[in-house]
Structure 1
Amino acid sequence: CHAVKKLDMNRVAIEEEWMEVEDEEENSLNGDTPRKKLRLTKEQSRLLEEKFRTNHTLNPKQKESLAMQLKLRPRQVEVWFQNRRARYIKAS
């Protein structure tokens, strides 16, 4: 669970927000490694939603900054925004 190690384990996730992420380290060794699920903390979800309300897309610098702030990979932030835009469009 390489992705889970990057989370602040002192925070307890209450919201049931899951995101499919690729574990880049394992995938580089073995092309058929299954995807892992990442559970976001309540604070990570709150901040991602707050940023989404401000802007539905992020430029590379914003993505990098948000990823560092949340202790996630930029790709994880990117995928979250892609999924959130899809949910937004579906709900419209």
Structure 2
Amino acid sequence: MRVGQLALDTAFRGLRPDGDVTATLTAPDGSRLQVWQQDDWRYLQVFTTPIFPRGGGLGTAVAIEPMTAPPDALNSGDDLIWLEPGESYEGRWGLRYLAS
């Protein structure tokens, strides 16, 4: 489905990356943007807007936010990564552009 046809402010949960790829956006020319994230990043927030400022007017935009916990996790406690004093956490996610 085309991004311009979607109205999303949606959290996707329980993701299991295929390799490391969680989501792929494909442009009309065949180029692709892949979102990759480590296994412990099992959530993805996707937001679309048709009123993103562009040169000379408005256009459609999509925002993708990899997450380790679901929305409202600070209240629910679901899937929070708890750290004791002196502990640390490192996680990785990123974007990969593939030209057509």
Write 1 or 2 for the structure with the bigger share of strand: 2
TM-score normalised by L of structure 2 = 0.24
Write 1 or 2 for the structure with the bigger share of helix: 1
Indicate the structure (1 or 2) with the bigger Cα radius of gyration: 2
TM-score normalised by L of structure 1 = 0.26
